[in-house]
Structure 1
Amino acid sequence: METKAQNYWIKIFHTLNESQKRWCAAQKATEIGYGGITKVKALTSMSRTTITKGIRELRDQEQLEKKIRKEGAGRKKITNINENIVRELELIMNENTAGDPMSALKWTCKSTRNISDELNKKGIKVSYRTVYNLLSEADYTLQGNKKTLGNSNSENRDEQFIHINSEVKKYIDNNEPVISVDAKKKEQVGNFKNTGQIWRKKSDPKKVHDHDFASLGEGVAIPHGTYDIQKNEGFVNVGIDLYTAEFAVNGIRQWWYLMGKKNYPKAKKLLVCADSGESNGSRNRTWKINLQKLSDEIKIEITVCHYPPGTSKWNKIEHRMFSFISMNWKGQPLESYEMIINLISNTTTKKGLKIEATLDRNEYEKGIKVSDKELEEINIKFNKKNPKWNYTINQSKKKKK
């Protein structure tokens, strides 16, 4: 071999793995011909036996192909072997997850080994390391505790979450609608600063009012959301007045006529998952009175399951709908009601979230008193499990006649 070419060949040779070195040396020895093995042995410090073995392997093409893994060969991904693994993993996680309403991240208090054991019980053989990789791909993260809750520990909290999961599963199995409802924080409408950043030309920030005086804006927006857990669809009723129980129920009413009735034409029941406080609170009499009116109007039995106090972030609507609305309008002043409706309606996700929104210009009365007699007329049945959080309202007896 010429010295320059020889040096170049040696450099390449030393980048190869053991098998490749053997075959490369064998090929060069064969190319040289008589005395080739001796010359290559001197260049590479490989033994004559090794070079001879390489020559033998090169002659046996079938043997060589066995030793070189073809593109696409090797162990298949577990998700390709078992398509159900992602769905089963989501089912396990949904039974024990929480979401920060301002992000799409989720977390779990179950270890990857425990999750692996649960999947194995379901006939899906998977290691805890694979579970870790699958969780990472699905945007789950390991997170520590954060001190944010006040003294709001409630009795039977775990039992209530188990009950809610059970009810949701039962309704979905029977193709009955399940909705999660809540109100997003009140927003000022006008050219006011909105937290977040958007892409703009360098040194050209959007100019907004330097003070958030209400007199500088158009009013306030109160987005009340209804999220359909099965369909991954949502509806937002944007109020301009007060956040009252009547307004909250009207949001459910608007959802039913715009989306629910179309998606569930044969529905006989409706499950509503809501927080325990404010206008849709478990102790709110006006909330129950208006649910009775809604049940009579749409002729459907309405069951309500309240999340325990202090656990609003566990509400599905928070991290499956509201978080994405916040992301969609971050950094943009909410200058008009039309803009708010458009931003909400154009919010979507990779998983296909769809949202409709309307503006509710009704004025709602605050502080409506409901007497004991009016409360007794509600056709309500409280569940034996945590009755203060679980109850069913059916059509008024006089309406059924």
Structure 2
Amino acid sequence: MSFDTKKKEVLGNLYRPGTLYTTEPVTTLDHDFWSLGHGKVIPHGIYDTQKNRGYVTLGNSKDTSEFACEALKHWWNYYGKALYPDANSILAKCDGGGSNNANHYIFKQDLQKLVNEIGIEIRIAHYPPYTSKYNPIEHRLFPHLTRACQGVIFTSLALVKTLMEKTRTNTGLSVVVNVVDQVYETGRKVTDNFKKTLKIVFDEYLPKWNYRAVPQLTH
């Protein structure tokens, strides 16, 4: 699978690029300042390269590692384990920055918590800087989501969900969308205990970019 967070959008009567066929003129504000909107939408995408299917989680808080891991957990619990009942590991390809920053231990801490909950190993493969264009989600899901939403004014989170769910391609791509109405805290620090008892297994080759989070037995 491949995952990443798409560009954040402002909700409100604000201009968005694209062509839209309507029966009457659409009038909007010509600037998209955050202060002019009434909220925001943060689309976190997961692309299943085997099934050619996209899973989008729409958040309205912050793009944090906790949010990214929550999206992964939802995908596995509701779709992944049913599609791959015999799987003993998940290969997740992602960028090296943002909510899944390769340099931040908070992502590794949240990732370890995630695998402890779902009980399956997750292998992370980060793309080094300036190579994120090779991440499959960037050209096999996100452009089609953009096309499905082009020109439409994002007046509500429900409208964004409806538009993205209509995403289709001739090659069989389909998209499932989930909305998470939860506030995520920013500026969280990794616990000292986690660094002392780090269970992340780093690869011998390029350990900064490649590592495994293995479920731990809890009592």
- Fold match (TM-score > 0.5): yes
Report deviation, 1:215.
4.4
In the alignment, residue 21 of structure 2 is paired with which amino acid?
Answer: W
2:57 counterpart of 1:217: no
Bigger Cα Rg: 1
2:40 counterpart of 1:193: no
What is the match of residue 145 of structure 2?
325
What is the match of residue 139 of structure 1?
none
Query: What TM-score comes out, normalization by structure 2 length?
Result: 0.95
Q: Which runs of 5+ in 1 are unaligned?
A: 1-178
Mapped partners of 2:107, 2:82: distance in 1? 25
Mapped partners of 1:394, 1:315: distance in 2? 23
2:81 counterpart of 1:261: yes
Report deviation, 1:217.
2.6
Report deviation, 1:375.
2.3
2:131 counterpart of 1:311: yes
Provide, for residues 20-39 of structure 1, a one-character-per-residue CA deviation record: whole Å limited to 9, x for no partner.
xxxxxxxxxxxxxxxxxxxx
Mapped partners of 2:167, 2:196: distance in 1? 42
What is the match of residue 163 of structure 2?
343
Spell out the pairing of 1:176-325 with structure 2 (5 A cutoff).
Answer: 179-201=1-23, 204-325=24-145
Report deviation, 1:198.
1.7
In the alignment, residue 231 of structure 1 is paired with which amino acid?
Answer: K
Alignment coverage as a number of residue pairs: 219
Report deviation, 1:278.
1.5
What is the match of residue 394 of structure 1?
214
Name the structure where helix makes up a greater proportion of residues.
1
What is the match of residue 109 of structure 1?
none
Partner SS state of residue 356, structure 1:
strand
Query: What TM-score comes out, normalization by structure 1 length?
Result: 0.53
Mapped partners of 1:182, 1:330: distance in 2? 20
In the alignment, residue 386 of structure 1 is paired with which amino acid?
Answer: L
Provide, for residues 30-53 of structure 1, a one-character-per-residue CA deviation record: whole Å limited to 9, x for no partner.
xxxxxxxxxxxxxxxxxxxxxxxx
Mapped partners of 1:213, 1:371: distance in 2? 36
What is the match of residue 380 of structure 1?
200
Mapped partners of 2:11, 2:3: distance in 1? 23
Partner SS state of residue 141, structure 2:
helix
Greater relative contact order structure (CA < 8 Å, 6+ sep): 2
Provide, for residues 124-163 of structure 1, a one-character-per-residue CA deviation record: whole Å limited to 9, x for no partner.
xxxxxxxxxxxxxxxxxxxxxxxxxxxxxxxxxxxxxxxx
Report deviation, 1:213.
4.1
Mapped partners of 2:55, 2:198: distance in 1? 27
Mapped partners of 1:360, 1:252: distance in 2? 12
Provide, for residues 320-339 of structure 1, a one-character-per-residue CA deviation record: whole Å limited to 9, x for no partner.
00100001111111111000
Report deviation, 1:372.
4.3
CA RMSD of aligned residues (A): 1.5
Q: Which runs of 5+ in 2 are unaligned?
A: none
The percent identity for this pair of structures is 41
Mapped partners of 1:259, 1:328: distance in 2? 23
Structure 1 residues 376 and 346 mapped into 2: Cα distance closer, same or farther (>3 Å)?
A: farther
